[in-house]
């Protein structure tokens, strides 16, 4: 694509222009209503004008859809907080809202660059999740490889992302992730760099070499949550002040509408006003626990369980009412289950059956996309992988890594031996001597399950998958007891679409102009994904991006 | 601020002794602590705890901040230590909130309490009073 095609006269990239046109912001609605009212006015239809004025009025209380037609009652306008209700006012250079995978790195990075920093956190401690976060080692990677990987990610994102932000991750993540590893270690974390080892499929891209730094906060039950708590210790030593149990309620604006601070609510119901000399960085994560918001932006999520809590999209409301623009409908979701059985077997194309016990998919589909087949209320993300005791030999050549029967016991809730390296409340692998018994353990309907296995075995015998077209070398029958099943439950790990930002991670308003004092990182930041599902091409892209943009935004705001 | 609820708690405790003395004959020992209909609000009321001890504005009762509960029931670490033995997991200490999960996520006063963990951890089947 030539530069001339992708840029308009304002010098704006295609992605930004598109989000400005179709995204959700205060102005897009107000300007359209104003136009509508003016048009009607010309025709002299007084009563309709009045109606429109009423609609315009309600936009003062609630957010509006991009066409102004729908009231988004999940984003009410913050009510003014009286000066008498503000217990304390504190002033810092930089205020970070949210102590997760992007907020804690941002705070430390800002402090290391000389700023006086406060972190306001909703939870009683820093909270995040996951294990793996990754970046690219520039020194040992081909530039062509990095560009090839960026192109691959754009493809994964259905070309709906801002390439500049992908490149920013690609060219800065090596430095940022290594920095997180170093600083978390200083806070006592056992984090390790796994290098390129976990990135099996992408060590060469289009024939070019790419090398990785892969931070691993683990093994489970240790996670990035523990890692961010360790990093917060380093941050405290660097002078960062944390305020826990203090959800941010609203932003404080200067005369010109610029953002100059945040008001947060303590457990005693009293408010504290945090003023920021340089800027406020929002890092409040996603909105999976805000049901109305999910139903609006990603209706597909209706029947899925959640993996996080208290992610009610607070940062979206804060940024929207400050004039920010939310990426248009069609947000990106991330659903998986790496815990029920071995993660290394999750993409192996064994027979899969839905919650009732019926085969439903060509199993070569990635686990991270299975959710699209299991959206209904009955399945609600549940399915089971099924195989027999020949799996170690019959699936030996498949991509992935088989765990032998002895190792599978670690994933079996019915096996009494103590578990290691897993969340023992979430393991869900089963073994049984008969198919009926296995069906019951997998919570399937035994008759349906047995019929599905019978049919599948016939297809395997014929070496042709007449039902779903799976390749013959992926057809292995389920015949020899004991039989195994992994009952996976796709739940929402995270949602990763957000607010429109520029390359400084500064929020843009509906005119595409940066909002002074307001920065957005982590999954609250937009422009990085855009596909139906989060891509699992780079293992740990999500956390890697959170660390990288936190590291960069913290430094940028500190230096303002 | 800190002292007031503790005094009330001591008062409440003496009431416990008093009330259990009265009711010992009528109520079987094992269930004496539970509210009649299983609702916590009934239990609190039977301990002589008034609406005002939880609701700042009794005329217009609103949601109760957990500080109120902690004020009587003591520091969350101590509470967590008390239930450390509960199987399959200590309901008062977990990786999501440490010991500081909001009491009202699970315990309700005027409706049935809920097990907040259960939808996500299907084997954490403890019963919430
Ligand atoms: C089980 C699980 C496993 C995962 N595994 C991986 C993995 O291995 N690799 C990977 O790359 N990604 C993984 N992810 C995704 C990854 O965890 C997220 O993408 C990442 O944590 C997002 O970081 P964040 O900073 O945007 O938000 P979070 O890390 O969620 O942090 C947001 C913080 O903001 C706080 N907050 C919210 N509202 C307010 C408010 N109003 N005021 C103050 N604070 C507020 C919250 O308390 C929270 O601590 C996993 C997710 C889950 C659930």
- Show Cβ contacts of residue A388 under 8 Å, excluding neighbours closer than 6 positions: A477, A478, A479, A480, A481, A482, A483, A484
Helix (H, G, I), strand (E, B) or coil at A498: coil
A202 touches ligand 1 (CB under 6 Å):
no
Instruction: Name every chain B residue with its beta carbon within 8 A of the beta carbon of A125.
Output: 97-98, 100
Instruction: Name every chain B residue with its beta carbon within 8 A of the beta carbon of A306.
Output: 120
pLDDT in tens, A344-353: 999 999 999 9
Indicate if the alpha-carbon torsion angle A253, A258, A261, A267 is positive or negative.
positive
Residue B38: the pLDDT is 63
pLDDT in tens, A32-48: 444 444 434 334 343 44
A425 touches chain B (CB under 8 A): yes
A413 touches chain B (CB under 8 A): yes
Q: Which of A225, A267, A307 sits opposite B66 (nearest CB)?
A: A267
CATH number of B36-129: 1.10.1130.10
CA of A522 to the centre of ligand 1 (A): 8
Six token digits for residue A448: 């349906």
Indicate if the alpha-carbon torsion angle A319, A321, A322, A323 is positive or negative.
positive
Best mutation target among B1, B91, B120 (most A Cβ atoms within 10 Å) is: B120
A218 touches ligand 1 (CB under 6 Å):
no
Name the pLDDT band for A140 (thresholds 50, 70, 90): very high
Residue A381: the pLDDT is 98
Q: How far apart are CA A196 and CA A193, in angstroms?
A: 9
Interface of B with A (CB under 8 A): 65-67, 88-89, 95-98, 100, 119-121, 123-124
- Show Cβ contacts of residue B116 under 8 Å, excluding neighbours closer than 6 positions: B101, B105, B106
- Show Cβ contacts of residue A366 under 8 Å, excluding neighbours closer than 6 positions: A347, A536
pLDDT in tens, A172-196: 999 999 999 999 999 999 999 999 9
Helical spans, DSSP H, in A7-102: 14-22, 26-43, 46-58
Residue A56: the pLDDT is 47
A283 touches ligand 1 (CB under 6 Å):
yes
Six token digits for residue A360: 């439903």
Q: Which of A306, A309, A425 sits opposite B121 (nearest CB)?
A: A425
Query: Domain A108-273+283-333+493-558, CATH 3.40.50.720 — does that match?
Result: no
pLDDT in tens, B53-65: 999 899 999 889 9
Asked if residues A94 and A278 have their Cβ atoms less than 8 Å apart, the reply is: yes
A143 touches chain B (CB under 8 A): no
CA of A546 to the centre of ligand 1 (A): 9
Residue of A nearest to B121 (CA): A425
Using CA atoms, how far residue A165 sits from A171, A524, A527, A532, in Å, is 10, 14, 7, 19
Asked if residues A453 and A363 have their Cβ atoms less than 8 Å apart, the reply is: no
Backbone angles phi, psi at A361, to 5 degrees: -155, 155
Asked if residues A354 and A379 have their Cβ atoms less than 8 Å apart, the reply is: yes
Comparison of pLDDT for B11 and A312, the residue scoring more: A312
Residue A7: the pLDDT is 44
Residue A50: the pLDDT is 39
pLDDT in tens, A249-271: 999 999 999 999 999 999 988 99
pLDDT at B14 over 50: no
DSSP A383-440: EEEEEETTHHHHTTTSSS----HHHHGGG-TT--SPP-SS-TTT--EEEESSHHHHHH
- Show Cβ contacts of residue A263 under 8 Å, excluding neighbours closer than 6 positions: A81, A86, A248, A249, A250, A251, A252, A271, A272, A273, A274
Task: Give the minimum alpha-carbon distance from A426 to chain B in angstroms, rounded to a whole number.
Answer: 7
Between CA A404 and CA A412, with CA A408 as vertex, the angle to 5 degrees is 165
Q: Which of B98, B119, B123 sits opposite A425 (nearest CB)?
A: B123
Instruction: Name every chain A residue with its beta carbon within 8 A of the beta carbon of B65.
Output: 267-269
Using CA atoms, how far residue B92 sits from B72, B75, B98, B105, in Å, is 16, 11, 8, 11
Residue of B nearest to A122 (CA): B97
Say yes or no for a CB contact (<8 Å) between B123 and A413.
Answer: yes
- Show Cβ contacts of residue A89 under 8 Å, excluding neighbours closer than 6 positions: A272, A273, A274, A275
Mean pLDDT taken over chain A: 93
CA of A127 to the centre of ligand 1 (A): 7
Asked if residues A269 and A85 have their Cβ atoms less than 8 Å apart, the reply is: no
Helix (H, G, I), strand (E, B) or coil at A184: helix
Residue nearest to atom 53 of ligand 1 (CA): A493
Asked if residues A494 and A542 have their Cβ atoms less than 8 Å apart, the reply is: yes
A17-26, A98-107, A202-211: least confidently modelled range: A17-26
Nearest partner of A218 among A545, A535, A543, A549, judged by Cα: A543
Task: Give the minimum alpha-carbon distance from A267 to chain B in angstroms, rounded to a whole number.
Answer: 7
Q: How far apart are CA A41 and CA A59, in angstroms?
A: 20
Helix (H, G, I), strand (E, B) or coil at A375: coil
Cβ within 8 Å of B, A 483-512: 491
pLDDT at A12 over 60: yes
Asked if residues A288 and A312 have their Cβ atoms less than 8 Å apart, the reply is: no
Comparison of pLDDT for A439 and B57, the residue scoring more: A439
Query: Domain A338-489, CATH 3.90.700.10 — does that match?
Result: yes
ipTM for this model: 0.84
Query: Within 10 Å of residue B31's Cβ, how many Cβ atoms?
Result: 10
* Residue boundaries of the structural domains of chain A: 108-273+283-333+493-558, 338-489
């Amino acid at each position: 694509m030539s530069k001339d095609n992708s840029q308009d006269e304002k010098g704006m990239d295609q992605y930004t222009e598109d989000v400005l046109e179709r995204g959700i912001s205060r102005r897009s609605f107000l300007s359209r209503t104003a136009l509508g009212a003016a048009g009607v006015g010309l025709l002299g239809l007084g009563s309709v004008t009045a109606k429109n004025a009423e609609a315009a009025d309600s936009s003062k209380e609630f957010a509006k859809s991009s066409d102004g037609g729908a009231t988004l009652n999940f984003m009410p306008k913050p009510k003014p907080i009286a000066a008498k209700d503000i217990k304390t006012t504190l002033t810092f250079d930089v205020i970070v809202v949210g102590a997760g995978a992007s907020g804690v790195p941002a705070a430390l990075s800002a402090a290391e660059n000389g700023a006086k920093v406060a972190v306001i956190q909703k939870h009683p401690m820093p909270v995040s999740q996951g294990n793996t976060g990754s970046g690219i080692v520039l020194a040992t990677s081909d530039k062509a490889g990095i560009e090839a990987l960026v192109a691959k990610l754009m493809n994964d994102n259905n070309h709906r992302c801002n390439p500049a932000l992908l490149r920013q991750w690609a060219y800065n993540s090596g430095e940022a992730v290594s920095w997180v590893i170093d600083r978390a270690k200083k806070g006592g974390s056992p984090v390790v760099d796994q290098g390129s080892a976990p990135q099996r499929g992408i060590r060469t891209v289009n024939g070019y070499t790419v090398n990785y730094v892969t931070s691993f906060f683990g093994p489970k039950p240790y996670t990035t949550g523990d890692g961010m708590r360790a990093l917060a210790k380093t941050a405290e030593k660097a002078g960062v002040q944390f305020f826990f149990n203090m959800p941010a309620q609203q932003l404080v604006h200067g005369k010109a509408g610029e953002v100059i601070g945040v008001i947060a609510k303590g457990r005693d119901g009293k408010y504290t006003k945090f003023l920021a000399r340089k800027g406020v960085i929002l890092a409040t994560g996603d909105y999976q626990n805000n049901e109305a918001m999910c139903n609006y932006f990603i209706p597909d999520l209706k029947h899925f369980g959640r993996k996080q809590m208290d992610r009610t999209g607070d940062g979206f409301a804060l940024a929207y009412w400050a004039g920010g623009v939310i990426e248009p409908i069609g947000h990106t979701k991330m659903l998986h289950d790496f815990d029920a059985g071995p993660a290394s077997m999750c993409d192996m194309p064994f027979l899969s059956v839905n919650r009732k016990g019926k085969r439903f998919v060509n199993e070569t589909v990635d686990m991270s996309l299975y959710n699209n087949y299991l959206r209904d209320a009955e399945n609600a993300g549940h399915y089971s992988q099924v195989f027999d005791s020949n799996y170690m030999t019959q699936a030996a050549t498949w991509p992935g890594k088989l765990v032998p029967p002895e190792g599978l016991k670690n994933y079996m809730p019915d096996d009494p031996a103590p578990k290691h390296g897993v969340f023992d409340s979430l393991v869900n692998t089963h073994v049984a001597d008969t198919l009926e018994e296995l069906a019951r353990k997998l919570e399937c309907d035994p008759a349906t399950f047995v019929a599905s296995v019978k049919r599948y075995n016939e297809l395997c015998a014929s070496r042709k998958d007449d039902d779903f077209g799976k390749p013959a070398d992926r057809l292995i029958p389920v015949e020899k007891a004991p039989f195994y099943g992994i009952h996976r439950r796709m739940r929402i790990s995270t949602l990763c679409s957000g607010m429109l930002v520029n390359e400084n991670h500064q929020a843009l308003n509906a005119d595409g102009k940066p909002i002074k004092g307001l920065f957005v990182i982590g999954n609250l930041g937009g422009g990085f994904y855009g596909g139906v599902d989060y891509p699992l091409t780079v293992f740990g892209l999500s956390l890697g991006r959170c660390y990288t943009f936190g590291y960069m935004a913290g430094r940028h705001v500190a230096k303002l | 601020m800190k002292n007031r609820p503790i005094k009330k708690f001591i008062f409440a405790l003496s009431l416990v002794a008093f009330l259990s003395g009265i009711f010992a004959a009528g109520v079987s020992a094992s269930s004496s602590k539970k509210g009649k209909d299983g609702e916590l609000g009934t239990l609190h009321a039977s301990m002589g705890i008034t609406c005002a001890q939880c609701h700042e504005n009794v005329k217009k009762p609103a949601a109760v901040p957990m500080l109120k509960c902690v004020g009587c029931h003591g520091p969350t670490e101590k509470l967590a230590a008390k239930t450390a033995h509960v199987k399959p997991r200590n309901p008062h200490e977990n990786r999501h909130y440490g010991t500081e999960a909001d009491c009202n996520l699970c315990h309700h006063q005027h409706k049935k309490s809920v097990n907040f963990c259960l939808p996500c951890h299907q084997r954490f089947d403890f019963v919430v009073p």
